[in-house]
């Protein structure tokens, strides 16, 4: 599928739940009660139908997200289904998780032929981790990560940079990832969802992390391409790969190949745009009619987002847990 700006759209980020067993304060703060009614969450059959149609239109890669996708009760059955679609044009299935359920699911994920998982981890300090996640257990997450490693999964650690919180852990996390042969990405916090604090108070640009890492370990750009928008570098001293995602200071909209579907069936062609299409309303039509409508929606994908860390967010009642992380 090609949009009107000539971008090839072949990557679906699919949220299977907006629930999560952690409550990170930049993503799903404790006071946020904005959750979809359970009756509105896409059924397993609806998830299957939507993914099948999108694959027929040219989606080659699907990243299963949440909330925390592995807490969905029928997640095993859904993963089995989409992995079976590799015979029908799908090239890759990926998962983004917070790691809490990996001790239970890592072997099954590996057995299904899923090769890559992204794990969100913003601190290696148990007290800070518990504070940030509103009660999360770092040991439980680390045990899950090591279980993934044991089962030969290609692990990438995603770390959101947070001002006055984890900037003093950047080098420690780089060293830990290098020691475990994990890839790593540092991400700027995005103004999605209304918080009681200014997003600018949380914001730390990736340039800060880049300079800090370069000074300590050396850092050179490399030609390495993943499914997402990271720009990749390799450290001289550790030889590990580090990516940087900078939606605010150096956006990547001109090469965006992604669409998102929320767990209640709303398609967002752009994370940073409120324009959307409710797929549940389309499911009453036959597959051909749905395909025609989706082609039009994707063709009209917005050129770019308008994120600004200093302005009030224009995405108020939609958080990363509901949009899909």
pLDDT-based confidence at residue 314 (cuts at 50, 70, 90): very low
Q: In sequence order, what are the beta bridge partners of 96?
A: 118
What the block records as the tokens of 123 is: 């601190």
pLDDT tens by residue, 106-146:
999 999 999 999 999 999 999 999 999 999 999 999 999 99
Domain ranges within the chain, ordered by starting residue: 11-323
The pLDDT of residue 199 is 54
What the block records as the tokens of 290 is: 């749905």
Nearest residue to 80 (alpha-carbon basis) of 109, 43, 59? 109
Q: What is the mean pLDDT of the chain?
A: 89
pLDDT tens by residue, 3-25:
999 999 999 999 999 999 999 88
pLDDT tens by residue, 270-312:
877 778 899 999 999 999 999 999 999 999 999 876 655 555 5
Task: Tell whether the torsion through CA atoms of 113, 115, 118 and 124 is positive or negative.
Answer: positive
pLDDT tens by residue, 188-232:
887 654 555 555 677 889 999 999 999 999 999 998 777 667 889
Fold of 11-323: TIM Barrel (3.20.20)
Q: What is the dihedral of CA 94, 98, 102, 108, to 10 degrees?
A: -20
- Global pTM reads 0.91
């Amino acid at each position: 599928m090609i949009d009107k700006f000539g971008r090839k759209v072949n990557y679906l980020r699919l949220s299977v739940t907006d629930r999560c067993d952690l409550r990170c304060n930049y993503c799903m703060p404790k006071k946020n009660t904005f959750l979809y009614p359970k009756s509105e969450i896409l059924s397993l059959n609806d998830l299957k139908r939507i993914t099948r149609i999108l694959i027929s239109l040219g989606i080659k890669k699907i990243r299963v997200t949440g909330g925390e996708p592995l807490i969905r009760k029928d997640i095993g059955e859904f993963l089995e289904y989409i992995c079976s679609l590799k015979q029908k044009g799908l090239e890759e299935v990926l998962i983004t998780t917070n790691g809490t359920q990996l001790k239970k699911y890592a072997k099954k994920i590996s057995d299904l032929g899923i090769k890559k998982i992204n794990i969100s981890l913003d601190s290696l300090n148990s007290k800070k981790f518990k504070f940030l996640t509103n009660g999360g257990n770092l040991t439980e997450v680390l045990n899950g990560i090591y279980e993934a490693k044991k089962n030969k999964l290609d692990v990438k650690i995603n770390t959101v940079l947070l001002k006055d919180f984890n900037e003093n852990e950047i080098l420690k996390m780089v060293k830990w990832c290098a020691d475990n042969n994990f890839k790593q990405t540092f991400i700027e916090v995005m103004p999605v969802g209304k918080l009681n604090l200014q997003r600018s108070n949380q914001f730390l640009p990736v340039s800060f992390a880049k300079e800090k890492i370069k000074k300590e370990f050396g850092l050179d750009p490399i030609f390495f391409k993943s499914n997402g928008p990271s720009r990749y570098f390799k450290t001289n001293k550790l030889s590990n790969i580090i990516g940087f995602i900078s939606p605010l200071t150096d956006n990547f909209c001109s090469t965006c190949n992604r669409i998102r579907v929320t767990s209640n069936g709303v398609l967002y062609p752009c994370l940073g745009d409120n324009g959307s299409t409710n797929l549940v309303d389309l499911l009453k039509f036959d597959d051909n009619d749905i395909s025609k409508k989706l082609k039009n929606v994707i063709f009209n994908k917005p050129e770019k987002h308008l994120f600004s860390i200093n302005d009030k967010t224009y995405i108020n009642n939609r958080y990363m847990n509901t949009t899909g992380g």
